[in-house]
Amino acid sequence: MLRQQRELDSALDLERADLRLHDVLRLGAYQLRFLSRVPAHAAVSTSVELARATVGERVAGYVNQALRKIAAKAPKDAVGTHPEWLVARWTARFGENETKRLLSWNDSKPELIVQPARSYPRSLICEFRERGIWAEDAPFGTGVRVQGVPKELPGFAAGDFIVQDPAHALVARFAGIPAGQTVYDACAAPGGKSVILETLGARVLAGDARLERLGRLKETTRRAGVAIRCLAADLEAAPIRSGSVDAVLVDAPCSATGTIRRHPDARQRLHPAVFARSAQRQTRLLEAAAPLVRPGGLLIYATCSLEPEENEQVVERFLTGHLEFRRAATDATPAELLTPAGDFQSLPQRHGIDGAYAARLVRAS
């Protein structure tokens, strides 16, 4: 429903409807337009009952009439599943063919991919297959791809794995934190990158300013059985002494245009001004992180955005104002995932994984 929301909204007269009915109407219209296995009368009846439960008896007739109109008339020409301005933006950057592939990727059902925590890829694949669940190596040798969406995966409760797209595990590998060194994962929730960093040998201090997400961070690290210290802390006021950590990972909040496939509602929340506004916050976070890194230490900046304003442009501005930092090369990443400047960049339409970006910066000794 979220993927097709633009078309559904164009068919529904939502301006006249109670705001609480919008999703009820969208669900009913989606069943009528896109689910052939649901009889029209059943879709309408179910939506009417949902409307009664949500708003009351007085809206039942309105919902019944609105959906019967949808069922009776032929669909209009498709309006597209993404905002037109975003499609135009991507077309100008990637070209028409690549943009079509990106839109198709975003509109497809995401795969389930897991990363080993207490287990190993081959062990997970064997265990899944023994339970009748087909599994194979994920792209770029990062994790295990599971076919379909099984109701239960053996080993989840025991912490054998975490659910994470290869792009985000690859960012942790790209960081290249030497084993035994301490890294402050400053925007850590829900904790996937922290777990991967720890399994690669780093000592991790994981913090997040969003208290509502701290519980999930703690649960992820507890289940995975990793020795990670968690704290509630805003990076811009972190309780860490300057120059005291070997590395800082700033996995910055962003527009998340690289993960629209997994978060289909994100496309509805975007607008043209969001990238510049996000970049301002991202710049502040990098500025706050820089003093915490010891001489010779690493500063890793990452997003799940496809947009230059949130990625390389943020890094270039930072480097212009901080001559004590420079990019540091790594050989832990396939060449096809590196930009000309040496940063990490995965693009869904080219690489078949989530979109993500990361820059690896070293502070002068």
Just list the catalytic residues.
304
- How many other C-beta atoms can be found within 10 angstroms of the C-beta atom of residue 343? 21
**Residue 268, Cβ neighbours under 10 Å: how many?**
13
Query: Whole-angstrom Cα distance, residue 174 to residue 179?
Result: 14
Rounded-to-integer distance, Cα 85 and Cα 77, Å:
18
> What distance in Å separates the CA atoms of residue 181 and residue 197, rounded to the nearest whole number?
10
Tokens of 101: 């592939």
Distance (Å, whole) CA 239 – CA 232: 10
Distances (CA, A) of 341 to 86, 109, 265, 313, 330: 26, 33, 32, 12, 12
Tokens of 204: 């991790």
Closest by CA position to 323, among listed 363, 284, 359, 292: 363
Cβ-based neighbours of 7, under 8 Å, separated by 6 or more: 33, 75, 78, 79, 80, 81
